[in-house]
Amino acid sequence: MKRAAASHRRAITADDLFTLKIVTSVSLSSDERKIGYTVEQIDYENNKYYTNIYMRDIVGGKTTQFTHGQHGDGRPIWSPDGAQIAFVSTREKKSGIYVMPSAGGAEKKIFEAEALIGEPTWHPDGKHLVMALRYRDSHFIKDEKKKQEPPVYRHITRLLYRLDGLGFLPQDPWQIYVLDIETGLTRKLTSGKRDNYSPALSPDGKLVAYVSNRAKDPDLDSLRDDLFVIPFSGGKEKLIPTPAGPIAGPVFSPNGRTIAYIGHANPDDAWGVTNFHVWTVGVIGAPKARDLTPKFDRMAVDQSITDLEDVHDKAMLNWSADGKRLFFLSSDTGTTNLYYVPASGGKPTRIFKGKCHIKGFSVNGKTQTAAIVHADLNNPGEIMTCPTQYGGEKRAKTLTDLNPQLRTTIKLGRTRDLMFQSFDGTEVQGFLLTPPFFKPGRKYPAILEIHGGPRTQYAFSFFHEMQLLAAQGYVVFYTNPRGGSGRGETWADAIAGGWGDLDYKDCMAAADYMESLKFVDAKRIGVTGGSYGGWMTNWIIGHTHRFKAAVTQRSVTDLISFTGSSDIGYAGSREFDGFPWTNKANYEKCSPIYYMEKVKTPVLIIHNERDLRCHIEQAEQMFVKLKVLGKTVEFVRFPDEPHGLSRHGRPDRRKARLEWILKWFSRYLK
């Protein structure tokens, strides 16, 4: 496809965010002839997101929009015979499951409830769905004509009683249910006070596998999952012995004798250091659970991030039709690619190579073809197909063109991936983005961007925020320092026990690299980041004065108070060698709040008032201390927004956030 002449194109704007079409899921039919996929769009006037289902006929080349309206239709799944598609929708302000003919036609609502709905899966008989449900508290359910009101009080007994983006969690646990397609009636398969989730059906439909944490305190021991099976007809559950550790995405082999899952055997792991691998275990007796890829020093999940969606680290695992291979995603040095590993174990094979971000995939039927969501530095994602063999990228076909404006109307900045040396000679990956109408010989202001996590990675994936900054005349450098993902366990483990050493030094090496560039004005460099990236921004301005301006976003400032104020802060004991009351010195040492006296950099604090991951009290403490100390600081608060404002917040607030970042850097860097 040809690009328009550069002279006829313009730089990207904040409003262009609302024109983007984002693929959020993909599902291949059992005959490998059709692809169902979901596309999210933003209605800026009404401040809403909506997602519709589209169908692509691979053979005929025709694309049809299957659902319409401003709804949240997602997760389409094909019935065993391919005649129907089931999907989850948020129509009528409730969560529901709908079914529609795959040839087209009206959808039928078969289930609706005040509940959170897990991943539904079809029973082989095509007459039932199996799903996980978590019913909302009954005292919250009101007449639809009346305004919902909070309860008189909340009685809290668990550590994990709230979760960012969801708020206070229902008292009822996740349970597995069977849904009758014809009648819409449900039958409860599991019971008890513990969460039971991630159901998977055996090929003959007789067994349902699921995951549950039965530790004494599942919140403190959140990585001690167990695998169970229960008869589809109901009855007693059976434990499938697996090593202590997390379990995700269980799936039966085609012969029903084995279950594969993604996990590891380190229940005391820090925040995401130990590699998640592909494991298999016999359903009844032998073989014992084993890691198929023990020498593979990478995660078997997608760890790449963008600012266009929240999802990463999701377990995606599928068997080949002959039961000889298992397909999964893995992130490696800024890429996320599609792999397979032999069911007998061994070295994984990368099916789809390239500098890209495979956001999702689907295989079905004979599993000779994979449908994938393929993104890169200049495109948020397109639907592609490729063979499920080595070299699949050479025979890949692109089936959609969802965002042609990025190619025909907008001139994007040029992004180059590179390696630069840190203080000790270690090579660190970076992405250098220059303005779209770059002029040689000119010196530009620059911005260092730092990712959150810390165990995530910047990748070969489209980032609207980075492109917007470049469009405003900044050189943008975003890097993957030690402590992040994509480079193996040793790399991720480099900062466990205490942040602010190797990770900080790698960030300073990135600043050194920026200052060495002839087209960067070394006296006009800013720094920004969110979450852990906000923590690092706070740490940087308390340890160096080299940056002209800083924007810290949804950050952590005091790890001691973070332990209790964050929805998962108590899990930091595995990251910081104990709790604040057992290792107070380390928590203080790693908390930026104790270094605020040294700050000279003008800093803008951006935080969200419903952020339960990094509670707004973290920002409040920092603002008050800097203000009292007479530092240059301003505070922007976004009401009603959780942690992920930059990725999926209310559209007008997402735009306002971008505008505040631009205003601050314009004030001090231009």
Burial of 215 (0-12, 13-18, 19+ CB in 10 A): middle
Catalytic residue among 27, 422, 461, 531, which?
531
359: left (phi over 0), alpha (psi -120 to 50) or beta: alpha
Pairing of strands 444-450, 520-530: parallel
Tell me which residue has tokens 């790698």: 506
Active site residue 451: no
Rounded CA separation 500/276 (Å): 26
Task: Calculate the alpha carbon distances from 214 to 133, 234, 592 in Å.
Answer: 18, 20, 37
- Non-local (6+) Cβ contacts of 285 within 8 A are none
Task: Calculate the alpha carbon distances from 210 to 2, 202, 229, 256, 325 in Å.
Answer: 49, 11, 6, 15, 22
Task: Calculate the alpha carbon distances from 621 to 90, 562, 602, 612, 636 in Å.
Answer: 38, 11, 17, 16, 14
- Reference 209, options 188, 240, 234, 235; nearest CA is 240
DSSP string for 244-256: SS-EEEEEE-TTS
Torsion of CA 304, 307, 309, 311, to 10 degrees: 30
Active site residue 202: no
DSSP conformation class of 325? E
Contacts from 393-401 at CB under 8 Å and sequence distance 24+?
393/351, 393/352, 393/353, 393/354, 396/352, 398/374, 399/35, 399/56, 399/58, 399/63, 400/23, 400/56, 400/63, 401/1
Instruction: Yes or no: say if 642 and 611 are a contact pair by the CB < 8 Å rule.
Output: yes
End-to-end CA separation in angstroms for the chain: 37
Rounded CA separation 3/387 (Å): 28
Catalytic residue among 198, 643, 646, 648, which?
643
659: left (phi over 0), alpha (psi -120 to 50) or beta: alpha
Instruction: Yes or no: say if 485 and 532 are a contact pair by the CB < 8 Å rule.
Output: no
User: Which tokens belong to 466?
Assistant: 């980075």
CB neighbourhood size of 400 (10 A): 19
Strands of the 108-113 sheet, one edge to the other = 74-78, 84-89, 95-101, 108-113
Rounded CA separation 41/21 (Å): 5
Is the four-CA dihedral 198, 488, 467, 637 of positive or negative sign? positive
User: Which tokens belong to 189?
Assistant: 């398969």
- Reference 209, options 185, 165, 176; nearest CA is 176
Rounded CA separation 383/372 (Å): 6
Rounded CA separation 237/235 (Å): 7
Instruction: Yes or no: say if 323 and 317 are a contact pair by the CB < 8 Å rule.
Output: no
- Reference 668, options 359, 516, 487, 446; nearest CA is 446
- Cis check for the bond before 124: say yes or no (omega within 30 of 0): no
Catalytically annotated residues: 531, 643
